[in-house]
Amino acid sequence: MKSGLFSWLNEYRYALCFSAIGLVYFFNLFIDVMEADAAQYAAISLEMFQTGNYLEVYHRGADYLDKPPLLFWLSALSFSLFGISNFAYKLPAVLIIILGIYSTYRFAKLWYDQQKAIYAALILSATQAFFLITNDVRTDGLLTGFVIFSLWQLSVFLRNKKMFHLIAGAVGVACAMMTKGPLGLVIVGLALGGDMLLKRDWKSIFKWEWVLFLVFVGLLLLPMCYGLYQQFDLHPEKEVYGLSGPSGLRFFFWTQSFGRITGELYWKDNTTFFYFFHTILWDFQPWILFMLPALWVKFRNLIQARFLISKETEWLTFSGFLLCFLALSTSGYKLPHYIFPLFPLLAIIVADFIVEQSKSASTFFNILAKVHFGLLHLFFLLTLISFIFFFTPSSLLLPTVTVILFVVFWFCWLRIGQVAEKIIIVSVIAMFSFGLTLSTYLYPTLLTYQAESVAAKDVYDKNLPDDVFKAYRSAGFGMDFYWRNVVPYSSIEEVRNFKKGTFVFTDPAGMEEITKAEKLNYRIVKQYDDFHVAKLSIKFLNRKTRDQIIQKKYLLEKM
């Protein structure tokens, strides 16, 4: 019987791995949206759904120009199908992320083999970045899925010349652009262009079909472009983000993306050129030990080939990753998730490296595999630390599951003979355990400290009229989403004149002003602990020092 069980587990090992990762993604669908970006996008999608205005994008009734509309369109459509909820907001993005994982598999299978394709998909799906973007849903997950989908379809087109795949590639690029601007086209162009230049494949570069490809992309962009033109270009009197009379079309095609590099857009931070070199060390976990040598081997092979590559080999991933990584590093404004769309390319490079190096069974690779296995223990250690020092689990179920997974983790390391297989399987087990902790325990607990969202849900549950919930001195985008309406920001004059039964959300200074300085007739309904959970710190996580850093927020009611 044991032999039969082990045989079954071995036969379905990949399906079990993908199912485990999918379970983490599923749990992520139900976690509250996080301030600030995800909560803002959820509120914009809700506003679009409620107003029915899909071509022009507004936030709290004001013009919104930052991001293209596809995320809002999809989430608004999801609201119409499933109702307003965390699940409905996140579902379209998570489905497209899954499409990206599948596209990574198909792209790798097209250029390599079945084993490397499965490994690439597992590597990508089990990264810390993908656990994050299936929870904290922003535009980058959609961009990631559409970019690799387009690269897969265009690669197929270059092989079989069928127009269906060219059109599918155009759909992917257009959707990527409607997710985050021209960056979607740039990543695809640099990947394909770099590959063709290295192969001196002039025939493919100058295909007439690329004109048709761009025409299809342009046609698909027309509804968005019409909305931008109507909302901004026809109204030069408007001012948005400090830009006087901005052209919506120019902002989309140039300012929002390239303006960060040229300095035209005022959004800047203090990040250096090496910012992404640092952030990727966490975001691409647990594969980082293989990433650096994998890139080096690719680069060394390129040097040895004197930058002249055979047409039978694949260099889209390396050229796409390297050129885009360097280009994004020159941006004047950076956030860690900006490079997530490059991770499918990196996952394929790493999968190829792991398989090829395991065949040679070099001493270096065997040592690397053992060090990697040792470092994977840190994910179990982080879970143990969180149980002891951060938040006490509400039951023994998760700790028990974690112990069982740790035993399975060690069992697979000892029983699996093939080195590449061993690396992939134990890594997925460790990340599944860690992801399960994040999705069922840590993030749901952390988001109880997002006071704006918690307060809005409390008031919404009272089934009150739409006009009785206000904010004074403190507000968040999540308030609009969980109240299902815009929560007005109020002045002290308005607070004085609110009708009886009005609820006001405020901070300690606002509470003192309303109840003591102004001596208005308000009672404290509830006090909330508040912390910006997107910016975690050890002082907050440590239960002994948490009270030193959390803030208080208040829900007041007019008597």
Residue 262, pLDDT score: 54
What is d(CA 344, CA 324) in angstroms, rounded to the nearest whole number? 13
Residue 141 lies in a domain: yes
Q: State whether 442 and 455 are in the same domain.
A: no
* Residue that is written with structure tokens 């950076």 in the block: 334
Residue 233 lies in a domain: yes
Q: State whether 248 and 397 are in the same domain.
A: no
Strands (E), 238-357: 239-240, 243-244
Q: Closest Cα partner for 518 from 558, 555, 478?
A: 558
What is d(CA 227, CA 59) in angstroms, rounded to the nearest whole number? 15
* Residue that is written with structure tokens 């910006």 in the block: 532
User: Cβ(227)–Cβ(69) under 8 Å?
Assistant: yes
Q: State whether 484 and 426 are in the same domain.
A: no
* Residue that is written with structure tokens 């021209």 in the block: 182
The DSSP line for 67-113 is S-SHHHHHHHHHHHHH-SSHHHHHHHHHHHHHHHHHHHHHHHHHHS-
Tell me the pTM.
0.92
Q: State whether 443 and 455 are in the same domain.
A: no
> How is residue 489 annotated by DSSP?
B
Q: State whether 179 and 76 are in the same domain.
A: yes
Q: Is the peptide bond preceding residue 351 cis, with omega within 30 degrees of 0?
A: no
Last residue of a domain, one of 270, 292, 313: 270
Q: State whether 465 and 418 are in the same domain.
A: no
Residue 15 lies in a domain: no
Residue 275 lies in a domain: no
Residue 108, pLDDT score: 95
Total domain count for the chain? 3
The DSSP line for 405-453 is HHHHHHHHHHH--SHHHHHHHHHHHHHHHHHHHIIIIIHHHHGGG-HHH
What is d(CA 228, CA 67) in angstroms, rounded to the nearest whole number? 11
CA 505 to chain centre: 30
Per-residue pLDDT of the chain in tens (559 residues, 90 and over written 9):
356 777 777 778 899 999 999 999 999 999 999 987 899 999 999 999 999 999 988 888 888 888 889 999 999 999 999 999 999 999 999 999 999 999 999 999 999 999 999 999 999 999 999 999 999 899 899 999 999 999 999 999 999 889 999 999 999 999 999 998 888 899 999 999 988 888 888 888 888 899 999 999 999 999 988 988 888 888 887 777 667 777 778 888 877 766 655 555 555 566 778 888 888 898 999 999 999 999 999 899 888 878 777 788 888 999 899 988 888 888 777 777 788 999 999 999 999 999 999 888 788 888 999 999 999 999 999 999 988 888 888 888 999 999 999 999 999 899 888 899 999 999 999 999 999 999 999 999 999 999 899 999 998 888 888 888 888 888 788 889 999 888 888 888 888 888 888 888 998 988 888 888 778 788 888 999 999 888 888 888 888 898 889 999 999 888 8
Q: State whether 65 and 208 are in the same domain.
A: yes
Residue 503: Cβ within 10 Å count:
24
Q: State whether 120 and 263 are in the same domain.
A: yes
**Domain hosting residue 57, numbered range:** 31-270
Residue 388 lies in a domain: yes
Q: What residues pair up with 62 in beta bridges, in sequence order?
A: 59
Length of the chain: 559
Residue 267, pLDDT score: 55
User: Cβ(478)–Cβ(510) under 8 Å?
Assistant: no
What the block records as the tokens of 64 is 């919104």
Residue 436 lies in a domain: yes
Instruction: Count CA within 13 A, CB hemisphere, residue 42.
Output: 33
Residue 1, pLDDT score: 39
Going by DSSP bridges, is the β-strand pair 469-472/503-506 parallel, antiparallel, or unpaired?
parallel
User: Cβ(260)–Cβ(275) under 8 Å?
Assistant: no
> How is residue 235 annotated by DSSP?
-
How far, in Å, are 118, 195, 349, 451 from residue 297 at the CA level?
Answer: 21, 17, 10, 49
Residue 305 lies in a domain: no
Q: Closest Cα partner for 75 from 93, 58, 59?
A: 93
Q: State whether 256 and 219 are in the same domain.
A: yes
* Residue that is written with structure tokens 């938040």 in the block: 391
Residue 368 lies in a domain: yes
What is d(CA 199, CA 214) in angstroms, rounded to the nearest whole number? 23
Q: State whether 246 and 193 are in the same domain.
A: yes
Q: State whether 238 and 107 are in the same domain.
A: yes
Q: What residues pair up with 530 in beta bridges, in sequence order?
A: 551
User: Cβ(147)–Cβ(341) under 8 Å?
Assistant: yes
Residue 434, pLDDT score: 94
Last residue of a domain, one of 255, 270, 285: 270
What is d(CA 60, CA 216) in angstroms, rounded to the nearest whole number? 34
User: Cβ(284)–Cβ(127) under 8 Å?
Assistant: yes
Going by DSSP bridges, is the β-strand pair 522-530/469-472 parallel, antiparallel, or unpaired?
unpaired
Last residue of a domain, one of 244, 270, 296: 270
Cα angle value 104/107/111 (rounded, 5°) = 135
Strands (E), 203-323: 239-240, 243-244
| Buried residues in 134-168 as b, exposed as e (16+ CB within 10 A) | bbbbbbbbbbbbbbbbbbbbbbbbbeeeeeebbbb
Work out the burial of residue 283: count CB atoms within 10 Å of its CB; fewer than 13 is exposed, 13-18 middle, 19 or more buried.
buried
Torsions phi, psi of 239, nearest 5?
-130, 125
What is d(CA 425, CA 130) in angstroms, rounded to the nearest whole number? 17
Q: State whether 214 and 236 are in the same domain.
A: yes
Going by DSSP bridges, is the β-strand pair 551-558/503-506 parallel, antiparallel, or unpaired?
antiparallel
What is d(CA 265, CA 484) in angstroms, rounded to the nearest whole number? 32
Write out 258-306 in H/E/C secondary structure: HHHHHCCCCCCCCCCCCHHHHHHHHHCCCCHHHHHHHHHHHHHHHHHCC
